[in-house]
Amino acid sequence: MSEQGSVPAQAGAGEKHAQAGAAPDDTARARPGRWGVWIAILALLVALAALGGAGWLGWHQYREARARASLESQVAALRVRLTASAARMDRAEAAREARERDLERAFSSLRTRLGRDRGGWIVAEAEYLLSIANQRARLSGDAVTALAALEEADRRLAALADPAFRPVRERLAQEIAALKAAPRVDRTGLEARIAALIAQVDTLPVAGARVRPIGGAGEPARGAAAHGWRAALREVGDSLRSLVVIRRVEHPTRPLLAPRERYFLYQNLILQLETARLALLGSEPGIYRSSLETAGRWVAEYFDPQAPATRAAETEIRRLAGARVTTRLPDLSGSLRLLRRIAGGTYGPTPTGTGAGG
C-alpha cells in the first residue's frame, strides 16, 4: 500500500515539474510572434508610404506634361507673331528703300533740269534734304533726323542767298521751331534698355518652394529611454519622419520646372522682349506695351519674387512699358511744296546765280 500511494505522488510531482518547464518555452515562442507583428506593421506602413509617393510622382509628371504642352503652344504662337512682325518690318524696309530710289531718281531728274550750275545743285540738295525730313517725320517719327535735315536745308538755301527762296526759309524757320517743341522719343535709349534686359534673362532664378521647416517637426522625440514595444514604436516613427517632411510654405508656389521647361520659359520671355523691341522700332505702341505687359506677368509668375534680379527686371519692364514710344510730329511738307513751286518757276524765278552771305 505504501508503494502504491507513493506512485501517484511521484506522478503528480512529475506533472508539476513538466508544467514548470513548459512555461518558459511558451514565453520564448511568444516573443518572436510579437516581433513578427511589428515587422508586418512596419512593412505595411512603408508600402503605404511608397504607394503614396508613387501617386504623388505620377500626378506631378502629369502636371509637368500639361505645363510643357502649354509652354510649347505659347512659344509656337509667339514665334508666329514674331515672324509676322518681322515680315511687316521687311515690307516697310523694302518700301522705304523704294521711296529712297524714287527720291534719288527725282534728284537726278531735277539736277538735269536745273543744269549743272552751283545754284541748281544747291536747290536740288535742299529739296532732297526736305524730302528726307518729311519721310523720317511722317513714316518713322524720327524727330532727330528730320530736324537735322531741315537745318541743313536751311543752311544750303542761306548759302544760295537768292531772295526768291525767302518764303521757303521763313516756312523752314516755323517748321524747325515746331519740331523742336514736339516731345522727343529716345528710341535708341529704349532699344538699348530692352537689349540689356534680354541679356539678363538667363540670370533670373526660376520660382521654387521657398520653405522653412516647422520648428521641431523633423526632430525625433526625446525623453527617457524605453524598452520593448516603446522602442519599436519609436523606430517606426523615426523611419516615417525620414520619408515624410512637413514644411511651411512662405509664398504660393508653382511646381518646379524641368530643365527643358525652363529653357522654353527663358526663350518665351526673350521672344516677348524682342517683339517689344521690334514694335518700338516700327512705331507700334500697342504691340510694344502688350509684349512688355506679358513679359512682366511671366516674370512675376514664373520667377523667384524675392530675388533682387527678379525685382529689378519687373521694375525695368514697368518703366519701359510706361515710356513714350510715339509722338505726333508737326507737318513739314509746306517748305518742300514751296521749294518745288519756286524751282519749277510757278512761284518765282528759278535760281541760276550764286551769292554769298545768308
**The CATH fold of domain 115-184+329-358:** Four Helix Bundle (Hemerythrin (Met), subunit A) (1.20.120)
pLDDT tier for residue 117 given thresholds of 50, 70 and 90: low
What is the C-alpha separation between 159 and 162, in angstroms, rounded? Answer: 9
Residues composing the chain: 358
pLDDT at residue 136, as a whole number: 84
- In angstroms, the CA 96 to CA 177 distance is 27
Give the model's pLDDT for residue 156: 92
Task: Yes or no: say if 178 and 137 are a contact pair by the CB < 8 Å rule.
Answer: no
**Mean pLDDT, rounded, for 106-125:** 72
How confident is the model over 193-251, as pLDDT tens digits? 999 999 999 889 888 634 444 344 444 444 444 456 666 656 655 655 555 444 454 55
Q: How confident is the model at residue 115 (pLDDT cuts 50, 70, 90)?
A: low
How high is the pLDDT of residue 249? 47
Per-residue pLDDT at 74: 87
Domain residues of the chain, as ranges?
A: 35-94+185-206+232-326, 115-184+329-358
Question: Who contacts 349 (Cβ-Cβ below 8 Å, separation ≥6)?
Answer: 164
Cα–Cα nearest to 201, from 108, 289, 127, 267: 267
pLDDT for residue 1 is more than 80: no
- The answer on pLDDT for 153 being more than 90 is yes
Q: Tell me the whole-structure pTM to 2 decimals.
A: 0.44
Higher pLDDT, 183 or 337: 337
Mean pLDDT of 283-301: 89
Q: How confident is the model over 152-165, as a mean pLDDT?
A: 90
Question: What's the confidence (pLDDT) of residue 235?
Answer: 67
pLDDT tens-digit series, residues 261-271: 778 888 989 99
The answer to whether 267 and 259 are in contact (CB under 8 A) is no
CA gap 156, 162 in Å, rounded:
11
- Of the candidate ranges 13-27, 165-179, 180-194, 284-298, the one whose mean pLDDT is the lowest: 13-27
Pairwise pLDDT comparison (112 vs 189), residue with the higher score: 189
| Least confident window among 98-102, 120-124, 234-238, 251-255 | 251-255
* Alpha-carbon gap, residue 261 to 18, rounded angstroms: 76
State yes or no: pLDDT of 21 exceeds 90.
Answer: no
pLDDT of amino acid 274: 92
How far apart, in Å, are the Cα atoms of 144 and each of 1, 126, 138, 141, 174? 143, 18, 13, 9, 16
By percentage, how much of the chain surpasses pLDDT 70?
A: 70
User: What is the pLDDT of the chain when averaged over all its residues?
Assistant: 76
Q: How far apart are CA 288 and CA 313, in angstroms?
A: 17
